């Protein structure tokens, strides 16, 4: 089931300044399924935060449509089961962490019993129970993110929007937040995650979209981004045997006594290579598509896009 639907969304900020209008999102379409962690990636200014804000009704859309559980942002019911951790948030810093959660709970219409039970379990979950009675103004960046995550979860939301949740968090905290995201996902909830930390997104997200200049450049599973389907590494007992690959099939990148790397014109051409090895009675140990990091795939996708549009 698609819990978030974005159809041909355009968002233009009318700045009223000399620089003129800014097209933050340009005919952008996307769907997010229930129970997935969906990573939104893109350079600074690509439109990631604007996307979340339009879905939450914080900013008006210029054209197109967005829906949460089938409801448009103009319907407040669409936000009833939604949590949000904004980017660069500024919570009222005279409040304590506990005070912030209670305040958010009341804003969301929870009764005191629910607030009490939710706050204590959330404070423990985000590792902030020790600092619950300290004023937010004394919190470190990592503590702010942890309490921010807790306030995003106060209504036990079905869909959670996280804008750079691990910004400023130490490595142990990052790993803990990653684990929390997986636990939330495993409960069948949906997370939309804006992040610049590609290694983190790679290890936690199910699907990823890349935005650039307000446009959707590519969307797919993390595997689709990180697997080079037309490049294979073959481990086999080649010895000193030469392997020739016809031009129409692909080309050989490297060959050693036990390892061959090929780039194929088409994915299915791997069968031709395997047939040749079999004919030569070469013992095959493994045939695997080559993997790259999400970061490398991201850089390649963007530079390819730049080359196409220039």
Chain contacts with ligand ATP (rule: CB under 6 A): 13, 15, 22, 24, 42, 44-50, 87
Q: Work out how close the CB of 295 gets to ligand ATP at its nearest, in angstroms, rounded to a whole number.
A: 15
Concatenate the DSSP letters of all residues of the chain into one string.
-EEEEEEEEEEEE---STT--EEEEEEEEEEEETT-EEEEE-STTSSHHHHHHHHTTSS--SEEEEEETTB-TTSGGGGTTEEEE-TT----TTSBHHHHHHHHHHHTT--HHHHHHHHHHHHHHTT-GGGTTSBGGG--HHHHHHHHHHHHTTT--SEEEEESTTTT--HHHHHHHHHHHHHHHHTT-EEEEE-S-HHHHHHH-SEEEEEETTEEEEEEEHHHHHEEEEEEEEEE--TT------TTTEEEEEE-SSEEEEEESSGGGHHHHHHHHHHTTPPEEEEEEEE--HHHHHHHHHHHHHHHH-
With respect to ligand ATP, which residue has the nearer C-beta, 96 or 212?
A: 212
Q: Work out how close the CB of 50 gets to ligand ATP at its nearest, in angstroms, rounded to a whole number.
A: 3
For residue 245, the partner it binds in ligand ATP, Mg ion, none, with Cβ less than 5 to 8 A by kind, is: none
- CB 269 within 8 Å of CB 250: yes
226 contributes a contact to Mg ion by CB under 5 A: no
With respect to ligand ATP, which residue has the nearer C-beta, 45 or 127?
A: 45
49 contributes a contact to Mg ion by CB under 5 A: yes
With respect to ligand ATP, which residue has the nearer C-beta, 96 or 195?
A: 195
For residue 257, the partner it binds in ligand ATP, Mg ion, none, with Cβ less than 5 to 8 A by kind, is: none
Q: Work out how close the CB of 250 gets to ligand ATP at its nearest, in angstroms, rounded to a whole number.
A: 37
Q: Work out how close the CB of 218 gets to ligand ATP at its nearest, in angstroms, rounded to a whole number.
A: 15
Q: Binding segment for Mg ion among 27-35, 44-52, 154-162, 180-188 (CB under 5 A)?
A: 44-52
For residue 44, the partner it binds in ligand ATP, Mg ion, none, with Cβ less than 5 to 8 A by kind, is: ligand ATP
Contact pattern for Mg ion over residues 75 through 94, marking x by CB under 5 A: ------------x-------
Q: Work out how close the CB of 162 gets to ligand ATP at its nearest, in angstroms, rounded to a whole number.
A: 13
For residue 13, the partner it binds in Mg ion, ligand ATP, none, with Cβ less than 5 to 8 A by kind, is: ligand ATP
Q: Work out how close the CB of 30 gets to Mg ion at its nearest, in angstroms, rounded to a whole number.
A: 16
- CB 159 within 8 Å of CB 112: no
For residue 272, the partner it binds in Mg ion, ligand ATP, none, with Cβ less than 5 to 8 A by kind, is: none
Which residues lie closer than 8 Å to 191 by C-beta, 6 or more apart? 36, 37, 38, 159, 160, 161, 162, 181, 184, 185
| Cα distance between residue 159 and residue 153, in whole Å | 9
- CB 300 within 8 Å of CB 218: no
Q: Work out how close the CB of 23 gets to ligand ATP at its nearest, in angstroms, rounded to a whole number.
A: 8
50 contributes a contact to Mg ion by CB under 5 A: no
Q: Work out how close the CB of 299 gets to ligand ATP at its nearest, in angstroms, rounded to a whole number.
A: 15
With respect to ligand ATP, which residue has the nearer C-beta, 126 or 209?
A: 209
For residue 282, the partner it binds in Mg ion, ligand ATP, none, with Cβ less than 5 to 8 A by kind, is: none
């Amino acid at each position: 089931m698609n819990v978030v639907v974005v159809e041909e969304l355009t968002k233009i900020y009318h700045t009223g300044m000399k620089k003129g209008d800014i097209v933050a999102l340009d005919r952008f379409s996307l769907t997010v399924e229930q129970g997935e962690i969906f990573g939104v990636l893109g350079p600074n200014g690509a439109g990631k935060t604007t996307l979340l804000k339009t879905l939450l009704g914080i900013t008006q859309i210029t054209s197109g449509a967005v829906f949460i559980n089938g409801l448009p942002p103009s319907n407040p019911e669409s936000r009833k089961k939604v949590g949000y951790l904004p980017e660069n948030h500024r919570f009222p810093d005279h409040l304590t962490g506990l005070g912030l959660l209670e305040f958010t709970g009341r804003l969301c219409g929870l009764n005191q019993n629910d607030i009490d039970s939710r706050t204590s379990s959330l404070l423990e979950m985000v590792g902030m129970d020790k600092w619950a009675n300290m004023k937010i103004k004394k919190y470190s960046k990592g503590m702010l993110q942890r309490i921010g995550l807790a306030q995003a979860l106060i209504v036990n939301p079905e869909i959670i929007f996280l804008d750079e949740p691990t910004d400023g968090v130490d490595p142990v905290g990052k790993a803990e937040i990653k684990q929390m995201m997986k636990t939330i996902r495993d409960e069948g909830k949906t997370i939309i995650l804006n992040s610049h930390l590609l290694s983190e997104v790679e290890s936690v997200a199910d699907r990823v979209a890349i935005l650039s200049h307000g446009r959707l450049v590519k969307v797919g599973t993390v595997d689709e981004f990180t697997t080079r389907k037309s490049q294979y590494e073959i481990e086999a007992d080649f010895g000193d045997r030469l392997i020739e690959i016809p031009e129409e099939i692909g080309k050989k990148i490297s060959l050693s006594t036990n390892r061959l790397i090929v780039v194929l014109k088409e994915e299915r051409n791997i069968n031709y290579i395997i047939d040749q090895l079999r004919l030569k009675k070469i013992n095959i140990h493994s045939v695997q598509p080559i993997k790259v990091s999400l970061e490398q795939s991201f850089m390649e996708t963007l530079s390819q896009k730049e080359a196409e549009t220039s």
